[in-house]
Structure 1
């Protein structure tokens, strides 16, 4: 049946939904790249909550979605910004999420890395308080058996007096970590409070400090996640990484080219992945990387390049609200039974934005049951008063 979708600027237009999904069954592990999907959390729609209250999570649906990601061969990056850290999910909720997901990973044989931050501190803090907050979270992640991702800290961005404070704090944490960690550089487009991270608003200067941290502790850094939406800068940075330190792209605008890597004579340099867009794209992303596993770079690009339009749409400014589109697509795909988010964040994107996200995802064949996705989208449009 035809849907009437609202368009930016007013009015509606007709759209004919796809009749058949892509057939992309789960398969084995990926071999040529390490690929993490930063996973969203499923809210409990029956909880009597407020936007600034503690998150209420549907644990069964949240863990089932992680099993879906592992089944397709992807790792799970847990308690990251996709899980609404600092945007509805507090540290108490994140700690419970880490413990439950790590236990589920052990049972499923899935790879998991978990975010370590300072979100116990709601209003900044002194450097010793920031260090203690990081240490508390690092202990929780390591005790769970997961790999640690040292996330960028709003409190540190607000408190640090310059590069030396970053060098001192990160050096302390890396010396303390029992296993190699992933360092996470999240740009201000994802979180405005992180502007000037690594002690400078000048990205060249900040990059030098970031690399200085890594160079001082290469045995404690498994890799770095770069989320600056700047492919050129990521390529330049990964060329400067010490041998054995991976680059995990967090660039949701340029991921196909960054994962595919550079052609000779530039060398066999490429990025692994830790991406929020691989939450809705998991089956397609896994299919693409399996082609890369066989050396078929052209086939990889043929599968993944068409997904970039959807990713750029979901992550358009203000980028930090990309989570709303991710959860919409999870609902439409049948991974959860409602379009509700912790903190009420389902209201963060406009109806035309959501309608376009549906159209792009449907065109890619992302919905296992297109008829169900169409019916759910129709119900949402009706609630918003769009006649069908």
Structure 2
């Protein structure tokens, strides 16, 4: 049986903030927690760069896949991660295990892997629509159980639109919310395409469970236009008739919506509105309800893919943020001085690491 890593959850040592981070001889930063990324496709590779460049608490140490020609595995090995094409079986057989696994494969794969991670004492942050753990949207439900062993990041569309629905529902009742997520076809890898049904189901449920709508519906469009379009999301919320009329209630709604936008932009700078919220008066065909429409655009930071892949950027940024929050919570970091670091990260690549480049593939993207 593999022995657990001497991780952050069991150690009094804490990582300094990023300005004080030291680096191992192999080039990886020393931080309080170690992580494995399972799935070296578009999302997994983008997440790797986000953690390396911006995480305060987490060092990615392992990149795990099943295709030895994966470009993501090659890139990970080239910058010092241990990269293996032998899958989760290989990872769980190691003497030292990661503190956190970021699952970037598919909903079916995570449903199978999740019990194994928990049995090994590894926290799982799930970037697939599997929804094994609680739905997690950083600007909305930070009061979630940070001691859980599995966190679901909903979907890219869920991360972009659930905050808007939540911003509306904290002011007025929302009996129905509908979102349409439009993304560039080039930004959608095999994982995304294999998870279309799970995407719509998980996103719609998150609009209800996290967003606060009584009923949710989600639609995704993969647009093949050239040049590739930026990610755009249209959010429709049914609202009481009086909220669609100019006045104090509508002002309160607008204030809530724009405040939520600013909160999301703290970790996704490319998150913006294409226009001010648009209000439609009540109609009989809407069961006497009025409607507010919000038009969201997400431009990626370009950590791995071009800026049109905002759908990747928002879910990887959210996952990295949740990972930091989980580690910080379990460290009890408030008031602890910087200076101590966890066990140095090894940068030696495994024998299954590859050096031949291929086009980015696979995983949930």
TM-score of the superposed pair, with normalisation by structure 1: 0.28
The higher-RCO structure (CA 8 Å, 6+ apart) is: 2
Structure with higher helix content: 1
Structure with higher strand content: 2
TM-score of the superposed pair, with normalisation by structure 2: 0.30
